[in-house]
Structure 1
Amino acid sequence: MKFFIDTANLDQIKEAHDLGILDGVTTNPSLMAKEGIKGHDAIVEHYKKICEMVDGPVSAEVFGTTFEEIVEEGKKLAAIHKNIVVKVPMIKDGIKAIKWFTDNDIQTNCTLVFSAGQAILAAKAGATYVSPFIGRIDDGNWDGVALIEQIVNIYNAQGYMTEVLAASIRTPLHIVKCAEAGADVCTCPLPSILGLLKHPLTDLGLAQFLKDAETMK
């Protein structure tokens, strides 16, 4: 399973990259705004910086909601760098735009997916990635990881090439469960990735090793 970091923060991207396990980055308008990135030129420059830091897919989300807006904006985003993947919302015009991008060799990430039916449409349109938001599904008292497993099973049965990108990851356990469910990719905040490092028995074992090492000096 590939690891993407879900942020626009350059320091966090560098830290994840330096771990040696980072495969890509996902962003959205909310994450850009959180970093104080405003205006077309500033956004483009920020994407360039991210692409220079990570040798892998960088999802850049469109703001438009009509077919024409999505296609026009997506073309400009894709022209920024070869690593850019155009992130398109799961709406009717979004699906139409994904098909256009597919036909024109532009990679896409279909975002805001909450059902297997939506995931089927995204795959039929040729999306490179589909992003089910499992944390938000859990918030509604449903099982987000179960949706990942359902989509993976459908894609395998139908031979769809779209990769399942588990999004809205909230905890390290989400990451493990998505790996078990067969997700191709998970995208998550840095704390969730770092949380995989932690276990109380590791801390206890290391403390004992260090104590024993002192007696050998």
Structure 2
Amino acid sequence: MYLDTANLMEIAEAIKTGVFQGVTTNPTILLKEKTERMKQIRGILDLGVSKLYVQVLGDSADALVEDYRRVKSVNTENRIAYKVSMDVHGLEAVKRIKEEDPDAEILGTAIYSADQAILGALAGCDSVAPYVNRMENNGVNPFEAIEKMRMFFDDRGLSCTIVAASFKNTNQIVGALTSGAHTATIPYDLFLQMINKDVAGKAIRVFNQHGEELEKLSR
């Protein structure tokens, strides 16, 4: 899975667990950190993150490709992958970026439907990110859409993977994964909710208490 944040403290804590393959960001997430974009990107890379997704910015294919080149200039050890929003300009940008650098890893983002994801895959995206909670808020069943994406990709032997994103609760994360998403990118607070269960915490405290009592018996 991936961690959806640009907060250095959250990233430093989360990567210790071994659960996360990397970090995903977007302009909104980066803005929360009140730090210049490239400086924050370098700071995340300095934490030893294996892969960092950075969204390229622009309202035209030319602008998107130009920003890709700007981000690529800080692509330390090829650890940056590129997020491209999936509209008609994004499709063109994906094609041009792949022509310029076939090894560039591209995640088609802002996916709200199966057909949008299919076009992204056909354009050359290595992965696509359906926005689960936002799809639900707009009357789209995200789990059915993910099933359709996965079926299309698998039936045609496409290597494009599904990175589910945009979650409000942990049930949505599990629903996306069991519907066929290859992986998911989740915020730090939902990661903590997934692992820190009250009932489990009580059991762990009892185990530790009994462990201390056993140690006393051996003295």
**With structure 1 as the length reference, what TM-score do the two structures score?**
0.89
The aligned residue for residue 192 of structure 2 is 194
The aligned residue for residue 77 of structure 1 is 71
Q: CA deviation at 1:170?
A: 2.2
Q: CA deviation at 1:214?
A: 5.0
Q: Deviations over 1:86-114 (max 9, x none)?
A: 21111101101111112222221111111
Larger radius of gyration: 2
Q: CA deviation at 1:56?
A: 2.5
2:198 and 2:130 map into 1 onto residues whose CA distance is 31
CA RMSD of aligned residues (A): 1.7
The aligned residue for residue 165 of structure 1 is 163
The aligned residue for residue 98 of structure 2 is 102
Q: Which SS does the other structure have where 1:71 is aligned?
A: helix
Contact 1:102 1:125 in 2 (8 A): no
Amino acid at match of 1:48: R
Amino acid at match of 1:94: G
Residue from 174, 177, 184 that aligns with 1:176:
174
The aligned residue for residue 48 of structure 1 is 42
After alignment, is 55-64 or 199-208 more displaced? 199-208
1:62 matched to 2:70? The reply is: no
Gaps of 5+ in 1: none
CA separation of 1:166/1:212 partners in 2, compared to 1, >3 Å: closer, same or farther? same
After alignment, is 82-91 or 55-64 more displaced? 55-64
The aligned residue for residue 113 of structure 1 is 111
1:52 and 1:211 map into 2 onto residues whose CA distance is 39
CA separation of 1:18/1:139 partners in 2, compared to 1, >3 Å: closer, same or farther? same
The aligned residue for residue 87 of structure 2 is 91
1:156 and 1:33 map into 2 onto residues whose CA distance is 37
Q: Deviations over 1:24-73 (max 9, x none)?
A: 11111111111112xxxx31121122123244321111220101111111
CA separation of 1:53/1:211 partners in 2, compared to 1, >3 Å: closer, same or farther? closer
After alignment, is 90-99 or 175-184 more displaced? 175-184
Amino acid at match of 1:124: L
Amino acid at match of 1:50: I
2:18 and 2:3 map into 1 onto residues whose CA distance is 12
Gaps of 5+ in 2: none
CA separation of 1:9/1:214 partners in 2, compared to 1, >3 Å: closer, same or farther? closer
Residue from 142, 145, 155 that aligns with 1:144:
142
**With structure 2 as the length reference, what TM-score do the two structures score?**
0.89
CA separation of 1:34/1:203 partners in 2, compared to 1, >3 Å: closer, same or farther? same
CA separation of 1:212/1:164 partners in 2, compared to 1, >3 Å: closer, same or farther? same
Contact 1:6 1:189 in 2 (8 A): yes
Q: Which SS does the other structure have where 1:145 is aligned?
A: helix
1:45 and 1:211 map into 2 onto residues whose CA distance is 46
1:12 and 1:213 map into 2 onto residues whose CA distance is 31
Q: CA deviation at 1:215?
A: 4.5
1:214 and 1:90 map into 2 onto residues whose CA distance is 56
Contact 2:113 2:140 in 1 (8 A): no
Contact 1:145 1:181 in 2 (8 A): yes
